[in-house]
């Protein structure tokens, strides 16, 4: 008999549903420019809130400046229980490249621009997104940029601070500077480098938020996942999300989509309880 996983977890000082919503796909192709259909983007956000989602992950460098404005248009004034998390540490050039933006003026400007575009006076959580590597963390001190965020927190512009694209060493360094309420890294069924980190964070009650829940699969892995999904009357994405929910209680998910039908499919993953033999099959994919 396996126990059902809990469907909420603490993020900062708020309880959030473990499946949230990632806004990245609300921007145009390549996360650049506006979406083809702004109304459809509004509709997905409203459906997410109506379905009980109370954790939205966004950034002002999506677009840039696109997704936050869409969130504001669709949802403001915001529900009391909604936790909006944004990330800073990068900027876009006019060719859609992602560039590091770590100087004190850039970080302050990024926080202010998130507040303006979301139409709020304080953001619940800001993640410092390290850009030493692209999607793979690389060692390097985060003391300088994190100290800027700690100042902005003192000023009341940020309520809580999180980290993204980091190593365990960087998390330990960060905890000496300020309280860290979440970590957002690349992790999924086959990309399992952070297994030890997830367990260490769980022991401290710190949420771990995986990005790319379906990224980096080989054709063989995808084929097997499709077969397993078919056997269990689920979609591959639902299996991948349900696996993450069962992997550890401190995992919070932020799947993104521009479609209401997909959103409903993703949220339905919370209802799945995977039997131990299926978990073994999924673990074997890695």
Q: Catalytic amino acids?
A: 62
DSSP 238-264: HHHHHHHHHH-TTB-B----S-HHHHH
Helix, strand and coil percent figures for the chain, each rounded to 5: 40, 20, 40
DSSP 210: E
The phi and psi torsions of 46 (rounded to 5 degrees) equal -65, -35
Burial label, 13 (beta-carbon count in 10 A; 0-12, 13-18, 19+) = exposed
Would you state the structure tokens that stand for residue 171, as one six-digit string? 């998390």
- Rounded Cα gap, residues 91 and 76, in angstroms: 25
Would you state the structure tokens that stand for residue 149, as one six-digit string? 């965020």
Distant-in-sequence, close-in-space partners of 242: CB < 8 Å, separation ≥ 6: 234, 269, 270, 272, 273, 274
Count of helices and strands (H, E) across the chain: 10, 11
Q: Which residue has the tokens 């303006």?
A: 116
Would you state the structure tokens that stand for residue 130, as one six-digit string? 């390290």
Neighbouring CB atoms inside 10 A of 224's CB total 17
């Amino acid at each position: 008999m396996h126990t059902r996983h809990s469907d909420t977890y603490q993020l900062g000082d708020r309880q959030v549903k473990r499946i949230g919503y990632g806004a990245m796909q609300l921007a145009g192709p390549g996360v650049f420019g506006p979406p083809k259909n702004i109304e459809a983007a509004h509709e997905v956000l409203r459906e997410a809130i109506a379905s009980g989602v109370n954790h939205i992950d966004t950034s002002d460098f999506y677009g840039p400046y696109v997704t936050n404005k869409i969130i504001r248009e669709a949802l403001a004034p915001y529900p009391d229980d909604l936790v909006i998390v944004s990330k800073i540490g990068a900027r876009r050039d006019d060719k859609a490249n992602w560039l590091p933006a770590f100087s004190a003026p850039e970080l302050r400007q990024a926080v202010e621009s998130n507040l303006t575009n979301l139409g709020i006076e304080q953001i619940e959580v800001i993640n410092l997104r390290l850009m030493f590597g692209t999607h793979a963390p690389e060692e390097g001190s985060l003391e300088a940029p994190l100290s800027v965020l700690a100042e902005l927190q003192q000023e009341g512009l940020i309520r809580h601070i999180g980290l993204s694209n980091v190593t365990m060493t960087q998390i330990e360094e960060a905890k000496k500077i300020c309280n860290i309420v979440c970590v957002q890294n690349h992790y999924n069924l086959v990309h399992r480098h952070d297994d030890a980190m997830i367990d260490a964070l769980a022991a401290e009650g710190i949420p771990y938020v995986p990005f790319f829940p379906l990224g980096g699969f080989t054709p063989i892995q995808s084929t097997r996942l499709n077969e397993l999904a078919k056997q269990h009357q689920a979609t591959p994405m639902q299996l991948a999300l349900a696996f993450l929910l069962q992997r550890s209680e401190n995992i919070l998910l932020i799947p993104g989509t521009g479609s209401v039908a997909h959103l409903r499919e993703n949220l339905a993953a919370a209802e799945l309880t995977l039997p131990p033999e299926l978990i073994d099959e999924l673990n074997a994919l890695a």
